[in-house]
Structure 1
Amino acid sequence: MSAWLPVAPCTPRDCARHEGPARTALPAAALLLAGCALTVVGVMCVPVALLLRPSHRDRLTRRWAYTVVRAFGVRVRVTGNPDRPAGPPSGELVVANHVSWLDVPLVAAVLPARMVAKSEIRHWPLLGPVAALGGTLFIERDRLRSLPHAVRAVAGALASGARVAVFPQGSTWCGRSGGGRFRPAAFQAAIDAGSAVRPVRISYRTTGTDAAGAAAFVGDDPLAVSLWRVVTAAGLTAEIRILPPIPAEAGTDRRTLARAAQSAVASDSANLPAASVHH
């Protein structure tokens, strides 16, 4: 078993379901069409966006990603400060727990970054071309021999001053089973590049209760089924908490750094006052 290919116990039958208020078919279909249309617009605009200055491109990415999430009928609640620490420009490794395909645009809406993703995503319709043009670092997770190359690629991007985002659990987890541990490989890249690690906590709720099952995209769940479950879940809110950065200094052990980031993401102390709430 590859270190990049952990197995989660979450399955569509046991974890991916919505038990709260639901939208009827017509408004849900309208949201589905709107979300897919905006995704297509994003695909078409990527070549033009690459010509913009990095600051303008990041601003455009944030607005587009946020609009896509909202188009699928999901509210977004952001907590914490996304600004990098003062000082010389440097790379930043963003690490988050992984529940859904929604996690990717959610992270992009607040912390635009080069994503680390499994190589299969390169061939997905719509999302694959966007990911490739956006500078995604594709990893062959089922080949252990590719791991050192992946670490070097991430470290190189960080050393160049880029922000890189990774889901170190290596698979999606619905949250009901506690979630998987953070794999240490990506943290070695942060140490090698001398970059800070930015933990991010993602959760989904409806009317104050946990709704990870509605957003969950786990196991062999078809993407179309997951999309429909999201647009029919009335009142679904995505909460993204941006936590203080953790320095990755020379001499730091990657496993210790991974545990520190995982602890920060899992801790109840991550419930900070909301910096912004979007409806």
Structure 2
Amino acid sequence: MSVWLPSAPCTPGACVEPTGSVTAAPRAVLRLTGVTLLVLTGIVLIPIGGRIPAGLVGRWCRAIVRAAGVRIRLTGAAAPTGGLLLVANHVSWLDIPLLAAVRPARMLAKTEIRQWPVAGALAARAGVLFIERDRLRALPDTVARIAHTLRQGAAVVAFPEGSTWCGRAQGHFHRAVFQAALDAGVPVQPVRLRYRLAGGAASTAPAFVGEDTLLASLWRVASARGLVAEVEVRPVIPPGTHPDRRSLARAAEPAAHGPARTHAALVTPGAALGDRSPSAA
């Protein structure tokens, strides 16, 4: 299996709590209508032959999250200017627009997304770096492209778990993307993403895992009441403080994960593996 293709044992049936009720349906429809209108607006505003300005992408992404009924709570250190590798734990499709609130950045994504209707065109115009996850021989070229982007002073967002997890369970950080930060001589900044209800209890409702469909995940988020996305930006790991990608990944992982959690009580034995991640690495 390619280093770009790890899988998580999380599944909707075992890990994701149901949300909403019959009375929540009208609210969900209104929220999804708002999300749809914002997406359509993004399509209309795509400049012909150009790239969407980074600042506009960030504001647009935050508006989509809020239209879905999710409040954003951003805390922690400020992201520095210049080349920067942002790494985070991966729970949901919501993670991608949320990280745009930290700093305008180029996202790593699997090459299949380029073929998605609407989303593929938007991703390409937003400067997404597409990677071929099923071709191990393409890994050196991918790392070189990421390093080149970092040397140019851009921020790059990666999810080193390589797959979405439910939020109560987490995966290990894979090392490949950290080599790009070492080669470019740029800092790494971990970001911790958590989803909670308004009362403070952790929620797995936004998780996009296993055989889950995007439509089912969208409806679950839109029909939930009081979802809060917590985006905690952790201190920067300066360049030159770790000699290799293994130690750099080991330093970034606990900063993004927080206290260790176990998954044993949350999944059934032999649960089907699945990668619903819209991103990679």
Structure 1 portions without partners, runs of 5+: 269-279
What is the CA deviation profile of residues 12-41 of structure 1, one whole-angstrom value per residue up to 9, with x for unaligned ones? 211233357886111110101111210121
Alpha carbons 2:193, 2:229 under 8 Å: kept? yes
How far did residue 43 of structure 1 move? 2.5
Tell me by how many angstroms 1:254 deviates: 0.2
Equivalent residue, structure 1, for 2:270:
none
RMSD, aligned α-carbons: 2.0
Contact preservation (8 Å) 2:91, 2:165: yes
The equivalent residue for 2:63 is 67
Taking the aligned partners of 2:79 and 2:49, their CA distance within structure 1 comes to: 22
Equivalent position of 1:12 in the other structure: 12
What's the CA shift for 1:62? 2.1
- Counterpart contact for 1:72–1:230, Cα < 8 Å: yes
| CA gap 1:171/1:22 in 2 versus in 1, 3 angstroms | farther
Please tell me the residue identity of whatever aligns with 1:260.
A
Deviation at 1:51, TM superposition (A): 6.7
- Residue number among 95, 98, 122 corresponding to 2:90 in the alignment: 98
- State the distance in 1 between where 2:79 and 2:25 align: 40
Cα deviation, residue 174, structure 1? 0.5
Q: 1:274 aligns to what?
A: none
Matched with 1:252 is: 243
1:114 aligns with 2:106: yes
Give 1:63's aligned amino acid. Answer: R
CA distance 1:3–1:51, shift in 2 (3 Å): closer
SS at match of 2:100: helix
Between Structure 1 and Structure 2, how many residues are aligned? 258
1:4–1:64 Cα change, 3 Å: same
- Tell me the percent identity: 52
Counterparts of 1:127 and 1:158, CA distance in 2: 24
CA–CA separation in structure 1 for the residues paired with 2:189 and 2:150? 13
Number of the residue aligned with 1:76: 72
Secondary structure at the aligned position of 1:209 is classed as coil
Q: Residue in 1 aligned with 2:275?
A: none
Tell me how far 1:234 sits from its aligned partner.
0.5
| Unaligned stretches of 5+ residues in structure 2 | 260-281
Residues 138-157 of structure 1: pairs in structure 2 closer than 5 A? 138-157=130-149
Asked whether 1:195 is paired with 2:186, we answer: yes
Q: For the residues of structure 1 that align with 2:51 and 2:146, how far apart are their CA atoms?
A: 23
Q: TM-score, normalised by structure 2?
A: 0.86
Distance 1:22 1:80, change over 3 A: farther
Alignment partner of 1:183 is 2:186: no
Q: Is the CA contact (8 Å cut-off) linking 1:97 and 1:169 kept in structure 2?
A: yes
SS in 2 for 1:94: strand
Task: Answer yes or no: is 1:25 the counterpart of 2:25.
Answer: yes
In the other structure, the counterpart of 2:34 is 34
User: Against the structure 1 CA distance between its residues 21 and 196, is the aligned structure 2 distance closer, same or farther, given a 3 Å change threshold?
Assistant: farther
**Cα displacement (A) at 1:10:** 0.6
TM-score (norm 1): 0.87
1:114-165 CA deviation, whole Å, 9 max, x = no partner? 0001111112222211111111111111111111111011001001111100
Distance 1:61 1:258 in 2: 28
* 2:208 corresponding residue in structure 1: 217
Question: What is the CA–CA distance in structure 2 between the aligned matches of 1:110 and 1:255, rounded to whole Å?
Answer: 25
Match of 2:224 among 230, 233, 257: 233
